[in-house]
Amino acid sequence: MRASALIALFAGATCIALSPIWVRLADVGPTASAFWRVALAVPLLWAAAALAARGRATPDRRQRWLLAAAGLAFAGDLVFWHWSIQLTSVANSTLLANLSSIFVTLAAWLLWRQIPTRTFLVGLLLALAGVALLVRSSLGFSATALVGDALGVITAMFYAWYLLTVKRLRDLGAATLQLMAVTTALTAAILLPVALASGETMLPASARGWLVLLGLAWITHAGGQGLITYALAHLRAAFSSVGLLLQPVMAAMFAWMLLGEPLVALQFAGGAVVLAGIYLAGRGSKGSE
């Protein structure tokens, strides 16, 4: 196991864990921050993709349709998650968004009849029990927290769609950096009219506001995803999936330290159960009983 890959995995998870902090600190609306998150990352990703694109074939018609689907899925993921972050606790929003791995396996079961293992089913039940605890804790958080929790679950569904589409593109030979650059640009193109139509504040009011959005785009989106992409190429998938569970833990810690958002005992319990469920479901989806 490469030490550099291990460091990259944890650093990438930490960068992504900062995402809800940037969203909360932004002085633009949730949909607008989702747009700037990808729009400001586009130049960096296209530059990186251009450097790595020597000898790469251009996408064919089938890949272009899949790229468009991936852009649409990621746009839905970002909009619903950014709204979830605003309406419920960072801990709940991030934990619920990480249910995507479970939805991936459920989709494979329903669409392609890939029967899940007993380990996955146990993990699913554990995760659902943890979700129930998180939802119960939301009753004391704010009047909008239950809506935010629901949007967190919808976020996981959209991200599962994105992951399945990207996997198909990878199977067809698409390069990782090319995928990130194209889908990020498509997501920005989709989100721009949505953000404008939402009536939200689109432009930051200060230099600090722009720095927050640059952090969201460069540190979280480009940096975090890039580090994880590098790590996944050098680490076992099973180990990586467990290592990435650091992300919701770090997000809750950042929210406590930087936003003063407390964690109640019910959230600790629900979070632990959800993480255990995701871990078991991840093992079960790989067929390792």
Domain ranges for the chain, please list them: 3-285
Q: What is the mean pLDDT of residues 186-191?
A: 97
Structure confidence at residue 289 as a pLDDT band (50, 70, 90): very low
User: Which residue in this structure is represented by tokens 């600190």?
Assistant: 25
Q: What is the mean pLDDT of residues 164-174?
A: 81
Q: How far apart are CA 13 and CA 222, in angstroms?
A: 12
DSSP secondary structure string, 187-228?
HHHHHHHHHHHHT---S-SSHHHHHHHHIIIIIIIIIIHHHH
**What tens digit of pLDDT does each residue of 45-56 get?**
998 888 776 556
Q: What is the mean pLDDT of residues 170-185?
A: 84
Q: How much is the pTM?
A: 0.86
Using the predicted structure, report yes or no on whether residue 112 has a pLDDT greater than 80: no
CB 239 within 8 A of CB 78: no
CB 274 within 8 A of CB 137: no
Q: What is the mean pLDDT of residues 211-224?
A: 94
Give backbone dihedrals phi and psi of 107, rounded to 5 degrees, phi first: -65, -40
Q: What is the mean pLDDT of residues 59-88?
A: 91
pLDDT score of 243: 67
Burial of 140 (0-12, 13-18, 19+ CB in 10 A): exposed
Using the predicted structure, report yes or no on whether residue 22 has a pLDDT greater than 90: yes
Q: How far apart are CA 46 and CA 234, in angstroms?
A: 23
pLDDT score of 142: 72
Q: How far apart are CA 71 and CA 81, in angstroms?
A: 15
Q: How many CB atoms lie within 10 A of CB 128?
A: 14
Using the predicted structure, report yes or no on whether residue 137 has a pLDDT greater than 80: no
Q: What is the mean pLDDT of residues 188-197?
A: 96
pLDDT score of 288: 42
Q: How many CB atoms lie within 10 A of CB 62?
A: 11
Of 90-94, 190-194, 229-233, minimum mean pLDDT range: 229-233
